Amino acid sequence: MIATLQQQINTMLLQQQVNTMLLQQQGSRVEVARPQVFNGRIEEVSAFINAARIYIRMKMTEEAAMAQVAWVLSYVQGGIAGAQKDNLMDKLAKGESEVETVEQLFSKIRNDFGKTSEEERKIEQLQTIEQGGRTCNEYIQEFKKGERLRGTTPH
């Protein structure tokens, strides 16, 4: 009788270990919203970072740091943010980027797009003035890309 009970306990413990391993492999079963596409709008910075951070914590904790960075960047599209993403991707490909973790990327996004003082908001307004359907910052990013492609650096 005791041997049978011991065997049942061992079977239950083994099943629990298998279930735990399966859950770890599958990630969280909780549904988590993905972030909205981010295009650089100051009003969307915090919401974008928070949504991406929650998703990563719930679904991507086992992923490598650069895989998390790439995943976040896949949601950065259009506008000035898209142009900056292209430049950052070029730097990452060359091993020249200062971004090595997703938290560093979030800091960069917040610093680049999350300006909060009145002076910073005015600067943002100037940078987003459009000419020919493109913003000042989009032109700047294009010039930077051209410099990289030519192998020159600004003076």
**How far, in Å, CA of 110 to CA of 106, rounded?**
6
Residue spans per domain, the chain: 30-150
Mean pLDDT across the chain, nearest whole number? Answer: 83
Which 3 state secondary structure label does DSSP give 34? coil
How far is 151 from 52, CA to CA, in rounded Å? 34
The pLDDT value given to residue 70: 94
pLDDT for residue 146: 87
Rounded Cα–Cα distance for residues 85 and 38 (Å)? 11
Mean pLDDT of 54-72: 94
Taking the CB of residue 72, how many other CB atoms lie within 10 A of it?
24
pLDDT digits (tens, 9 = 90+) for 34-49: 999 999 988 899 899 9
CB 15 within 8 A of CB 88: no
Q: According to the model, what pLDDT value does residue 2 have?
A: 79
Distance CA 86, CA 120 (A): 24
Q: Provide the pLDDT confidence category of residue 68 given band limits of 50, 70 and 90.
A: very high
Task: Name the DSSP letter for residue 63.
Answer: S
CA atoms 153, 88, 146, 119: torsion sign: negative
For the chain, report the end-to-end CA distance as a whole number of angstroms.
85
